[in-house]
Amino acid sequence: MSAIVGERDTLLQATAERFSTTADGKAILMSASTPVFRVNSAGAGAPGSIAITAKPVNVVGDIVFSVSAGTALQVNGNVATVDFSSMTTDTALVQARIREFGVDYIASYMVSKVFDGVNGDTGLAGLNTGQAFAYKRAAAVPGDSPGDVIFTFATAAITTPAGNDLANGWSKNIPAGTAPLYVRVSAASSRNATDNIAANEWSAAVQLAKDGTDGLNVAPVRIYQRGATNIAPALPSAACTFTFATGALTGLNNGWSAQVPTTGGAYLFTSGATAASRTATDDIAPGEWAAAARLAADGATGQRGTVTVTAPGYSAWSDASAVYELGRAGYGAPVNRDVVTLYDATHAVTKYFDNGAWLVLGTVLNGNLLVDGSVAAKALSVDKLAAISADLGSVTAGDLYGTTLHGGPGYPTNAYSWPGAAAGGGFHLSAAGLLMGNRNAGAFVEMRSDGYVAMPGLTISPDGRASFSGQLSAAGGSFRGELVAATGTFGLIRSAESGQRTEYDSKGIRIYNAAGKLIVRLGEW
């Protein structure tokens, strides 16, 4: 079926069945996207038009549309369109009719206008509301009024009269004092920015607050005393006064103090009481102290700390002299890490004591304390130098022993192996042998510790056999021995440079006598 491209095809698409076997249920159905034009306050309607489709059901015949007066109708097949601009009435009745065998089948569709309401009049301004407060201190409930005032809603405060004072001793803010505090409240309500509150608009006075009974000052109090035995001392027998502001306690007796004493015996005792009063001080009676209890006791005397002793008059070191000087200085027997220096005008030795022996005291410097370049190489005298990373510059050495030397991008580690083709060159020197260059890249020299030598074109095995490949050019000198399985291209081969000799070249063989004269020639000439 071809695409729908013209009015005729549209009509055919929407037409009813020409023939039907159904004998009943005949009707016309009418539908539209909306039955309403919405009209705004300016008189414009939406949508601009409404298309009404009539579809016959089991009815055969031409559809005839009609519309009520005041409205124009555009008909296209079984579709009737009502334009808002052509509808002069608020409602329009559209009918579709088909006559079949003398019988009329009619369907109706109502189109209406729905109007927006008219904007109403602007309403009255709303009310500003607020609350005004007035405060007063008095021994009894005051019956007077704060008077007439003006309340400003923007600041939510009384602005007239100015200042803090109101009539009859009332004020805008809570006044200072100790008498009971009363408050009066008035509601402010107006459509204006302010509201005049009359004197009779204030509510009755209500007590807001009053001074209560002073609270208690409470503090724990502890006292201390040392004794020579573990028997608790007698408690204070006199009344003591505690000051809450400073925490000071006065009037203690029987050897008690408010601080932990440093002398008086190895045993420390303590007792406690609670100071409670509504005044600045409290008197603590003797019976208020708790039973004395031991708080602590001195431990056993520990070992003394290490000391440093310097003694003159010694031309040589003596362990016994070091022990003697420690005792003479009042320190008794030596302990670990004691340091003694024995010296005279030309001699000095310093040693430290460690587990029964006197050892030479050396100096250890943290490497982080040394400034770079501050220690010269000639100042180093070491048995073993390890974990060093340095730029040594020019080095002169009598006997330099190393396990492995390696360098270059192809030899980042001390492994005896050729680098990859793209890894670069360098060298490796160790007990295993010498590697130079990069065999995988084609330029290399290898000399192993077992006598094996290899380079491009030449290999020497540990058994003395040499293998050569490639081209030998511009060679001079003499050759002795047997050349086996050799192949190549030779320009000239001769048994001697002059005199009696035999020569071979590409043209043939020539033989010369002792005088150098040609005597035999074989080949092409």
Final residue of a structural domain among 90, 114, 138 = 114
Q: What is the mean pLDDT of the chain?
A: 87
Asked whether the CA dihedral 274, 276, 282, 285 is positive or negative, the reply is negative
292 found inside a domain: yes
pLDDT for the residue 23: 44
Domains in the chain, number? 6
pLDDT for the residue 7: 56
Final residue of a structural domain among 163, 180, 209 = 209
Residue-number span of the structural domain to which 344 is assigned: 308-360
Which comes out higher in pLDDT, residue 498 or 358?
Answer: 358
14 found inside a domain: no
Final residue of a structural domain among 256, 274, 297 = 297
The model's pLDDT over 266-303, given as tens digits with 9 standing for 90+, comes to 999 999 999 999 999 999 999 999 999 999 999 988 89
pLDDT band for position 225 (50/70/90)? very high
SS3 for 85-117 is HHECCCEEEEEEEEEECCEEEEEEEEEEEEECC
Task: Decide: 506 and 522 in contact? Cβ < 8 Å.
Answer: no
Task: Decide: 59 and 85 in contact? Cβ < 8 Å.
Answer: no
Asked whether the predicted pLDDT for residue 1 surpasses 70, the reply is no
Average pLDDT (177-192) is 95
Task: Decide: 63 and 97 in contact? Cβ < 8 Å.
Answer: yes
Statement to judge: residues 103 and 59 lie in one domain:
yes
The model's pLDDT over 42-100, given as tens digits with 9 standing for 90+, comes to 889 999 999 999 999 999 989 999 999 999 999 999 999 999 999 999 999 999 999 99
505 found inside a domain: yes
Reference 322, options 361, 270, 273; nearest CA is 361
Q: How far apart are CA 14 and CA 80, in angstroms?
A: 13
Statement to judge: residues 40 and 101 lie in one domain:
yes
Statement to judge: residues 251 and 317 lie in one domain:
no
Q: What single letter denotes the amino acid at residue 70?
A: G
Which tokens sit at 79?
Answer: 């579709």
370 found inside a domain: no
Which comes out higher in pLDDT, residue 311 or 481?
Answer: 311
pLDDT for the residue 379: 65
Statement to judge: residues 163 and 146 lie in one domain:
yes
Reference 13, options 76, 95, 59; nearest CA is 76
Statement to judge: residues 98 and 136 lie in one domain:
no
486 found inside a domain: no
Percent of the chain with pLDDT over 70: 85
480 found inside a domain: no
Reference 182, options 163, 162, 168, 197; nearest CA is 168
pLDDT for the residue 382: 60
Question: Count of residues for the chain?
Answer: 525
pLDDT for the residue 21: 39
Statement to judge: residues 104 and 151 lie in one domain:
no
The model's pLDDT over 370-394, given as tens digits with 9 standing for 90+, comes to 787 777 766 666 656 655 666 666 6
519 found inside a domain: yes
Task: Decide: 503 and 509 in contact? Cβ < 8 Å.
Answer: yes
Asked whether the whole model's pTM tops 0.75, one would answer no
Statement to judge: residues 38 and 95 lie in one domain:
yes
pLDDT band for position 403 (50/70/90)? confident
Reference 147, options 132, 137, 128, 157; nearest CA is 132
Which tokens sit at 206?
Answer: 């209500």
22-31, 263-272, 450-459: range with lowest mean pLDDT: 22-31
Statement to judge: residues 103 and 158 lie in one domain:
no
199 found inside a domain: yes
2-6, 200-204, 306-310: range with lowest mean pLDDT: 2-6
